[in-house]
């Protein structure tokens, strides 16, 4: 069985480039290869001067399908789950990459492979911008990141979010636009946001960021904690100073600037 969803606004453009059907999209060699391995690839497509990203999986884990069915949810491929997450977030007015199309192939209810096409988000990778930024801009980036992560957690979206999953458009000191680009997640649906879950998922996110080399100073973590706490609903009553202490204990010694 094939599930295919094409955003009607892009139907003609895709058809004009022989990308109107599931097999055409799964087999196309159009565009520049951004990433490729035995499990997946990412292509950057230029269609009549507009840029898009095509992410495809070449195989999916059957265990992930079984996990979904055991939770009484439909099983989906990774790209399809990413599309669902983008859709939820867009409905809640988060800035996310616009989904142009998405599809997946299933056999006896088990996803085999799939794709998602998104429109190119303006700006640059926030992790790269952070690396090249001065002290003030770095702090500002962490304020923006804290605020975005706080809003996501408050709404029950706990998928891992690192700076590299965000694009920034504009000067970090001048209210830049932050847009989520990479929403790959095991569970695309929102979960109830209890204080306990928020804290454990925040700490999990920070541990992952640190393991992957996103390391910040104490002052940057302070800016993060303050804006993260401000973004949570008041009934959750997180206190920025104690959150900061918890984060610093978790990430270990960092420079004290
Ligand atoms: N909609 C988009 N706009 C701009 N750049 C994108 C977009 N989608 C993907 N990219 C680029 O392609 C890279 C890989 O895509 P991503 O969605 O992060 O996949 P992965 O799961 O491989 O990390 C990103 O780091 C980014 O540079
Ligand atoms: Mg990525």
pLDDT, tens digit, for every residue of 115-131? Answer: 999 999 999 999 999 99
Write down which residue in 119, 151, 181 finishes a domain. 119
CATH assignment at residue 92:
3.30.200.20
Residue 31, domain member (yes or no): yes
Residue 223, domain member (yes or no): yes
Distance CA 167, CA 170 (A): 10
Q: Are residues 247 and 144 in the same domain?
A: yes
Mean pLDDT of the chain: 95
On the CB side of 64, how many CA atoms lie within 13 Å of its CA? 17
Is residue 59 very low, low, confident or very high in pLDDT (cuts 50, 70, 90)?
Answer: very high
The pLDDT of residue 254: 65
Q: Are residues 86 and 144 in the same domain?
A: no
Residue 132, domain member (yes or no): yes
Q: Are residues 12 and 57 in the same domain?
A: yes
Residue 256, domain member (yes or no): no
Residue 146, domain member (yes or no): yes
Please state which of the ranges 87-91, 97-101, 165-169, 247-251 shows the lowest mean pLDDT: 247-251
Please state which of the ranges 58-72, 93-107, 109-123 shows the lowest mean pLDDT: 58-72
Angle 154-70-104 from CA coordinates, rounded to 5°: 80
CB 45 within 8 A of CB 30: yes
Q: Are residues 198 and 134 in the same domain?
A: yes
Q: Are residues 112 and 128 in the same domain?
A: no
Helix axes 218-231, 135-154, angle to 10 degrees: 30
Number of folded domains that form the chain: 2
Q: Which residue has its alpha carbon closest to ligand 1 atom 2?
A: 120
Q: Best of 7, 35, 39, 42 to mutate for ligand 1, by most ligand atoms within 8 A of CB?
A: 42
pLDDT digits (tens, 9 = 90+) for 135-193: 999 999 999 999 999 999 999 999 999 999 999 999 999 999 999 999 999 899 999 98
The pLDDT of residue 256: 52
Nearest to residue 36, comparing CAs of 51, 56, 53, 52? 56
**How many angstroms separate the alpha carbon of residue 182 from the centre of ligand 1?**
6
pLDDT digits (tens, 9 = 90+) for 13-24: 999 999 999 999
For the segment 81-98, the average pLDDT, to the nearest whole number, is 97
For the segment 232-256, the average pLDDT, to the nearest whole number, is 84
Write down which residue in 84, 99, 119 finishes a domain. 119
The pLDDT of residue 74: 92
Q: Are residues 91 and 142 in the same domain?
A: no
Q: Are residues 148 and 203 in the same domain?
A: yes
**How many angstroms separate the alpha carbon of residue 232 from the centre of ligand 1?**
28
Q: Are residues 130 and 240 in the same domain?
A: yes
Q: Are residues 183 and 131 in the same domain?
A: yes
Q: Are residues 111 and 24 in the same domain?
A: yes
Is residue 238 very low, low, confident or very high in pLDDT (cuts 50, 70, 90)?
Answer: confident
CB 226 within 8 A of CB 179: no
Residue 243, domain member (yes or no): yes
Write down which residue in 104, 119, 134 finishes a domain. 119
Cβ of 67 below 6 Å from ligand 1: no
Q: Are residues 56 and 135 in the same domain?
A: no
Range of the domain at 133: 124-251
Cβ of 168 below 6 Å from ligand 1: no
Q: Are residues 229 and 243 in the same domain?
A: yes
The pLDDT of residue 150: 96
The pLDDT of residue 255: 55
Residue 70, domain member (yes or no): yes
CATH assignment at residue 219:
1.10.510
Q: Which atom of ligand 1 is nearest to the CA of 121?
A: 3
pLDDT digits (tens, 9 = 90+) for 200-227: 999 999 999 999 889 999 999 999 999 9
Q: Which residue has its alpha carbon closest to ligand 1 atom 11?
A: 53
Residue 257, domain member (yes or no): no
């Amino acid at each position: 069985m094939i599930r295919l969803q094409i955003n009607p606004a892009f139907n003609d453009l895709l058809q004009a480039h022989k990308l109107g059907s599931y097999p055409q999209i799964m087999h196309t060699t159009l565009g520049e290869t951004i990433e490729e391995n035995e499990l997946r690839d990412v292509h950057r497509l230029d269609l009549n001067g507009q840029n898009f990203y095509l992410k495809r999986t070449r195989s999916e884990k059957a265990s992930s399908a079984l996990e979904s069915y055991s939770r009484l949810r439909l099983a989906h491929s990774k790209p399809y789950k990413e599309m669902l997450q983008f859709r939820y977030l867009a409905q809640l007015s988060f800035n996310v990459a616009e989904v142009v199309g998405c599809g997946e192939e299933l056999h006896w209810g088990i996803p085999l492979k799939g794709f998602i096409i998104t429109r190119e988000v303006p700006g640059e990778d926030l992790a790269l911008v952070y690396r090249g930024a001065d002290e003030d801009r770095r702090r500002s980036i962490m304020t923006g990141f804290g605020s975005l992560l706080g809003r996501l957690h408050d709404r029950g979206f706990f998928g891992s979010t690192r700076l590299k999953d965000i694009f920034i458009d504009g000067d970090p000191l001048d209210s830049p636009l932050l847009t989520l680009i990479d929403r790959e997640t095991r569970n695309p649906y929102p979960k109830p946001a209890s204080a306990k879950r928020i804290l454990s998922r925040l700490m999990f996110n920070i541990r992952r960021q640190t393991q992957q080399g996103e390391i910040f100073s104490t002052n940057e973590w302070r800016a993060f904690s303050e804006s993260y706490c401000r973004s949570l609903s008041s009934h959750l009553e997180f206190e920025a100073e104690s959150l900061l202490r918890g984060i610093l204990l978790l990430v270990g010694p960092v420079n004290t600037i």
